[in-house]
Amino acid sequence: MDKILRIDVGAEGGPAFREDPLGSYAGLGGRALTSAIIHAEVPADCHPLGPENKLVLAPGLLTGTAAASSGRLSVGCKSPLTGGIKEANAGGAGAQVLARLGYAAIVLEGERQGDDLYKVMISTEGVRVEKDNELKLLTNYQLMDRFSTVYGKKGAMISIGTAGEMGLANSTVAVTDMEGRPTRHAGRGGVGAVMGSKGIKVILLDGTGTRNREPKDPEAFKDASKRFVEGLRSHPITGQGLPTYGTNSLTNLLSEVGGYPTRNFRQGRYEDADKISGESQVELTAQRGGKGRRGCHRGCVIQCSGTYLDKNGQYLTKRVQYETVWAHGGNCGISDLDAIAQLDHLDDDYGLDTIEMGVAIGLAMEAGLLPFGDGKGAVELVHEVGKGTRLGRILGSGAASTAKALGIERAPVVKGQAIPAYDPRAVKGMGVTYATSPQGADHTAGYAVAANILKVGGDVDPLSAAGQAELSRDLQALTATVDSTGMCLFIVFAVLDQPETLQALVDLLNSFHGLTLTGDDVAALGKSVLEDERDFNRRAGFTAEDDRLPSFFRMEKLAPHDVDFDVPEEELDKVSRE
């Protein structure tokens, strides 16, 4: 990965491209690269859908190699949802193919001319950008039907659905999985709208004739890879829990501990959690002949994914993930797994973040547009977004916009982005992450559930304010590092608990790139990424007052533990200053 593909969508006669060397961005990958480019090249006060914003797609430092679980793609821009810097992360085949083709990043830049749509095709033979207005308002699965024979088993498709094309602030960039389906999404922050603003509907990657990237020290790399895989397979979460039950293994657990936000964050336990739990999903999958233990990309050894079949045994969506099950399930009082799976499919098809969409529907339910528990009504609301109706455009603009339009004061958002599936009153480390991450409310930015609930990497009482700021601060830096390597975030469970697995990760980076990094050096990478992101947000007008949770989390006690969010504001301020 020694070059950056820049596509100027405003060039005379249509989009033009050039290949640039890495230059000052050498040594960066994934989130470190997307945030560095946005920090250096995008005016912080620009309009997210205007000509000065850029969309950056970057595989990680280890993506496209033989390293296990290293196929993540970072997508960066100024967010239409938060107004700050954004990195959204996706699995699927796209990052690996892009890396094997030699690209450290694709940068979409410039001002779109007219309303034409374009497709980008990249292979070992070069790059082509072609006008294709027949793609207008096609959904992601319709794009799959049109192009699956083009990208095939050795390639990938990166695309936007109708939401991104319409410029909605809750819109995703979809990446196809190993089966060629558009089920992996850079979901948070409205990155799809930025891609849509550039007039690029789809990027088709042909991996024919490509090979894995070769390490500087093959023997050391092979040894580190073996130790790294052993660490992942021996850890109870990455080796047993996630492969067996997927991420939805958390539903029963979070409800039991009272940290499961239910009916728009009114209570911490959901009485029907068992009906939509990972255990129930596995049982239903087995009855219908679906599959579990699948990776979202080749080389994944965690394999938390699978397929979800409908009542007729037909494919409906991938194994539904915890945050999606929560957003469309417990948050909306919906206890029907089939309805939740249908909502997941529609979100993928139209190109919508399931968390943002589920929280917006929960707000619509609180406003009385439909009752809590109405699965059919929720499906119709997602169709409204896909059709671009007036109500659909409000819902598709995100939870904060929905709350304002419907007159709802209790909007669970930070920096304009919906809070995910862990109530900050009962999982207080997550509350700190939601409040202080430059990414807005994002559970992946510093997954304090690890120590608060799972007791991975330490044991910090989730109901106490003590130690939460330090926990979140350290996890935010670690996460930024992992996002930069292209590794799946779930490796942190083994890395936090097993010093030898952390060392194996450091050894992978060193042996592949010919470096002599220490553990401290790797940690410093994450801190530098956060410094870039926070500096961008400061220049965009963010202050310490933006690093706060909505007031109702401090004012309303959460059952069953009768707790509020009581981490002092001065502790929150320390996180972004240290």
Say what percent of the chain tops pLDDT 70: 100
Cis-peptide, bond into residue 560, ω within 30° of zero: yes
Residue 296 confidence (pLDDT): 86
Q: Are 140 and 347 in contact (CB under 8 A)?
A: no
**Straight-line distance from the first to the last Cα atom of the chain, in angstroms, rounded to the nearest whole number:** 32
How high does pLDDT run on average in the chain?
Answer: 96
For the chain, the residue count is 578
- Do β-strands 16-21 and 85-90 pair in parallel, antiparallel, or remain unpaired? unpaired
Judge if 198 and 266 occupy the same domain.
no
Mean pLDDT calculated for residue range 154-158? 96
Order of strands across the sheet that contains 55-59: 16-21, 3-8, 103-109, 55-59, 73-78, 85-90
- Residue 52, Cβ neighbours under 10 Å: how many? 16
pLDDT band for position 292 (cuts 50, 70, 90): confident
Residue 251 lies in a domain: no
What the block records as the tokens of 11 is 């060039």
Single out the residue in 421, 448, 468 at which a domain terminates.
Answer: 421
> Nearest Cα to 5, choosing from 29, 28, 21?
21
Q: Are 87 and 32 in contact (CB under 8 A)?
A: no
Q: How far is CA 110 from CA 87, 191, 578, in A?
A: 20, 16, 35
Residue 322 lies in a domain: yes
Name the β-bridge partners of 59.
73
Residue 578 confidence (pLDDT): 59
CATH of the domain at 389: 1.10.569.10
CATH of the domain at 101: 3.60.9.10
Q: Strand, coil or helix: what is 220? A: helix
Judge if 199 and 263 occupy the same domain.
no
Residue 531 lies in a domain: no
Q: Is the pLDDT of residue 577 over 80?
A: no
Judge if 287 and 147 occupy the same domain.
no
Q: Is the pLDDT of residue 350 over 80?
A: yes
Residue 337 confidence (pLDDT): 98
| Cα distance between residue 439 and residue 444, in whole Å | 10
- Do β-strands 307-309 and 200-205 pair in parallel, antiparallel, or remain unpaired? unpaired
Q: What is the tens place of the pLDDT at every residue in 112-123?
A: 999 999 999 999
Whole-model pTM over 0.75: yes
Name the β-bridge partners of 259.
none
| Cα distance between residue 409 and residue 354, in whole Å | 22
Residue 122 lies in a domain: yes
What the block records as the tokens of 148 is 């699956």
Judge if 397 and 293 occupy the same domain.
yes
What the block records as the tokens of 206 is 């042909």
| Cα distance between residue 137 and residue 208, in whole Å | 29
Judge if 264 and 408 occupy the same domain.
yes
Q: Of 11-25, 206-220, 284-298, 428-442, give the lowest mean pLDDT range.
A: 284-298
Residue 447 lies in a domain: no
Judge if 201 and 263 occupy the same domain.
no
Q: What is the tens place of the pLDDT at every residue in 457-512?
A: 999 999 999 999 999 999 999 999 999 999 999 999 999 999 999 999 999 999 99
| Cα distance between residue 184 and residue 94, in whole Å | 10
What the block records as the tokens of 439 is 């990414």
- Helix ranges (H only) for 460-498 are 468-485, 491-497
Greatest Cα pair distance in the chain: 63
Q: What is the tens place of the pLDDT at every residue in 192-202?
A: 999 999 999 99
Q: Is 130 exposed, middle or buried (0-12, 13-18, 19+ CB in 10 A)?
A: exposed
Name the β-bridge partners of 85.
78
| Cα distance between residue 44 and residue 150, in whole Å | 38
Mean pLDDT calculated for residue range 177-187? 96
Q: Which residues contact 486 (CB under 8 A, 6 or more apart)?
A: 29, 30, 59, 60, 61, 62, 63, 70, 71, 72, 73, 74, 95, 99
> Nearest Cα to 77, choosing from 173, 199, 201, 204?
173
Mean pLDDT calculated for residue range 65-91? 97
- Do β-strands 3-8 and 103-109 pair in parallel, antiparallel, or remain unpaired? parallel
pLDDT band for position 513 (cuts 50, 70, 90): very high
Q: Is the pLDDT of residue 157 over 70?
A: yes
**H helices, E strands: number in the chain:** 24, 16
| Cα distance between residue 335 and residue 220, in whole Å | 50
Single out the residue in 187, 205, 223 at which a domain terminates.
Answer: 205
| Cα distance between residue 1 and residue 26, in whole Å | 10
pLDDT band for position 291 (cuts 50, 70, 90): confident
| Cα distance between residue 163 and residue 49, in whole Å | 14
Q: Which residues contact 560 (CB under 8 A, 6 or more apart)?
A: 258, 267, 268, 269
Mean pLDDT calculated for residue range 32-42? 98
Q: What is the tens place of the pLDDT at every residue in 496-508?
A: 999 999 999 999 9
Say what percent of the chain tops pLDDT 90: 96
Q: Is the pLDDT of residue 1 over 80?
A: no
Residue 31 confidence (pLDDT): 98
Residue 165 lies in a domain: yes
What the block records as the tokens of 381 is 């609301």
Judge if 414 and 290 occupy the same domain.
yes
Q: Which residue has the tokens 């039950």?
A: 245
Q: Is the pLDDT of residue 313 over 80?
A: yes
Q: Which residues contact 517 (CB under 8 A, 6 or more apart)?
A: 506, 509, 510
Query: How many structural domains does the chain have?
Result: 2
Residue 457 lies in a domain: no
Residue 150 lies in a domain: yes
Running DSSP on this structure, what letter comes out for residue 222? H
Q: Which residue has the tokens 């040894």?
A: 223
| Cα distance between residue 190 and residue 171, in whole Å | 5
Q: Are 450 and 496 in contact (CB under 8 A)?
A: yes
Judge if 194 and 265 occupy the same domain.
no
The residue segments making up the domain with residue 157 are 3-205
Order of strands across the sheet that contains 184-186: 126-131, 118-123, 200-205, 156-159, 173-175, 184-186
Our measurement of the distance from residue 539's CA atom to the centroid of its chain's CA atoms, rounded to an integer in Å, reads 24
Judge if 378 and 295 occupy the same domain.
yes
Kind and range of the H or E run holding 500:
helix 499-513
Q: Are 344 and 351 in contact (CB under 8 A)?
A: no
345 vs 291, residue with greater confidence = 345
pLDDT band for position 295 (cuts 50, 70, 90): confident
Single out the residue in 205, 222, 247 at which a domain terminates.
Answer: 205
13 vs 546, residue with greater confidence = 546
Judge if 173 and 28 occupy the same domain.
yes
> Nearest Cα to 430, choosing from 416, 439, 442?
442
- Do β-strands 156-159 and 173-175 pair in parallel, antiparallel, or remain unpaired? antiparallel
Residue 408 confidence (pLDDT): 97
Q: Is the pLDDT of residue 375 over 80?
A: yes
- At 412, which amino acid appears? P
Judge if 201 and 287 occupy the same domain.
no
| Cα distance between residue 491 and residue 299, in whole Å | 13
Q: Is the pLDDT of residue 576 over 90?
A: no
Judge if 328 and 191 occupy the same domain.
no
